[in-house]
Amino acid sequence: MKAKHLIWLRRVSQGLFLAFFVFLLIQTRFPDAAYQDYSLVVSGEQDIRLNYPGSFFFQLDPLVWLTSFLSGHVWLQGFFWAVAVLLLTVFLGRFFCGFVCPLGTIHHMAGAIRPSLKGKAMIAANQKRGSQKIKYFLLIAVLVSALLGLNMAGILDPISLLFRSLALAVFPAVGNGIKAACDVIASSDMKPFNLLGYGAEVIISPVFGYGYPAFQTGWLIGALFLVILFLNRIRPRFWCRTLCPLGALFGVFSRFSMLKLEKDAGACTDCQKCTLACQGAASPGPGVAWDSSECLLCFNCFAECPEDAITFRFRWFPGRNKGPDMGRRAVLGGLLAGVSIPFLGRLDGRIYRVSDPRLIRPPGSVEEKNFLRRCQRCGLCMKVCPTNVVQPALGEAGMAGFWTPVLNMTLGYCEYTCTLCGSVCPTRAIVQISGREKVERPIRIGSAYLDRGRCLPWSGNGPCIVCEEHCPTSPKAIYLRPQTQIGQDGVAVTLQLPYVNLKRCVGCGICENKCPVKGRPAIRVMAAGETRSIRNQILLDM
């Protein structure tokens, strides 16, 4: 196949996979059909499920599969695709990086936008560097950490990083900006502008989310994403060369690749155009051995060579390519980091001693130790949540649980029969349950308690029955008792005082979310009483 045909094949493949990734991200939301017939959600008669496989790219990801297998000791359904990708890497090399990976495609495009280095400076930048060993350090660290029971791979895994960055930072930021502009236009007294503002918001909401979604640490997630994009101005595909642990995993397996680069030393004029165009600093030029572990299969060197001195051919005879240059320091450092992270991450006592009362996991979550073994911090459960209650953890779960999902009831509440978070979780850190099981079992994620000093009826400052009105359980977990109190003016007033029945409360948090006392609501949910933890129970007969 000619070089220009391979280049166009790569571009088409990159474009299609990136478009499919963005499409699945947009579709990872509460289905429109459920909005149209909301009785399905309220009754729990029919489970709400997505129409598209939102976890498809995660099932293609060998790093997600391998770390989940090492840490959780489970074979995840659908992850045979990841094994197939690894097997194809043995035949083709890092084809995933060059043809499939949506984050790699974004870096490829970012590096092509007015690069800061050109000519001889770019040739020098495209030489093999010691910094490219960092990705092997990170790979070894996450694998050893997973083996010791703490799965941190999702923080740096490219599929998890891209989904988390787009879903929790980029799309909400862009959507909120557009909606703010639409609100200004809709507030106009001129009817055409008014209709334009409302119409535009109806069109963009399915893409960027309804309302104004907010995610704690969203600014940090977005800032890190912008930084790694900016690094492409320093080195083309800096992330792929230097930091990507998935790329390092592919680099290890590509040593056995049967697709090999061949150089015709007699035809080569040492023009260095192949080195200038190389995306992975894989040493395609003359006088040095081609490094298959760094080659991203962009085929730029093949296309740019004016003398046709470079070709890619399949060689079926046994033999290995040049092995990945990990470096002894990177290996030893990765081993040390992999052993240290799980133990240091548990020193805060959140796992073995007393957990944070704010650590409320989504319904269906497994016990905390197993949760940290499986969770990839990908953001799928946060993106699909219809009420924006599922948030990336900051300090609630300690260092070991950074960016894992927690529920923040001031931002939303857990819809009574909704189980979408469990249906999209790629590693079953959140087990898939039915809406009927969630209600009838029931699945408890916490317990509500009253702060009587802030509660309007209990403090004698006024009548309020909002929490009791919104409580979804049947019979209600929040009930009222009338009590007559004497006000400051000496007039007797009968108020309805709310109480919480812990045997009925499931911790959904709608009472906290709807409480009129804002800032720090008068009724709040704590993790105590959650179904997933035996040692975190309140009542012995629950």
Query: What does the alpha-carbon distance between residue 102 and residue 100 come to, in Å, rounded to a whole number?
Result: 6
Nearest by Cα to 276 from 141, 410, 126, 435: 126
pLDDT of residue 38: 58
Average pLDDT over residues 499-515: 95
Strand partners, 497: 481
Pairing of strands 447-450, 523-526: antiparallel
Got the DSSP string for 120-181?
A: HHHHHHTS--GGGGHHHHHHHHHHHHHHTT---GGGT-HHHHHHHHIIIIIHHHHHHHHHHH
CA distances from 358 to 203, 355, 408, 446, 453 (A): 36, 8, 8, 9, 20
How does pLDDT run across 106-137, given as a tens digit for each residue?
Answer: 999 988 887 666 667 666 667 777 788 999 99
How does pLDDT run across 44-89, given as a tens digit for each residue?
Answer: 567 888 888 999 999 999 999 999 999 988 888 888 999 999 999 9
pLDDT of residue 473: 93
At the top level of CATH, the class of 447-526 is alpha beta
Residue 90 in tokens: 């043995």
CATH fold of the domain at 349-444: Alpha-Beta Plaits (3.30.70)
How does pLDDT run across 144-155, given as a tens digit for each residue?
Answer: 999 999 999 999
pLDDT of residue 165: 96
Q: Which pLDDT band holds residue 215 (cuts at 50, 70, 90)?
A: very high
Query: What does the alpha-carbon distance between residue 193 and residue 533 come to, in Å, rounded to a whole number?
Result: 54
Matching fold, domains 349-444 and 447-526: yes
Average pLDDT over residues 237-263: 90
Pairing of strands 447-450, 310-314: unpaired
**Domains of the chain, residue spans:** 3-30+50-128+236-314, 349-444, 447-526
Are 328 and 322 in contact, with CB atoms under 8 Å apart?
no
Are 27 and 51 in contact, with CB atoms under 8 Å apart?
yes
pLDDT of residue 353: 66
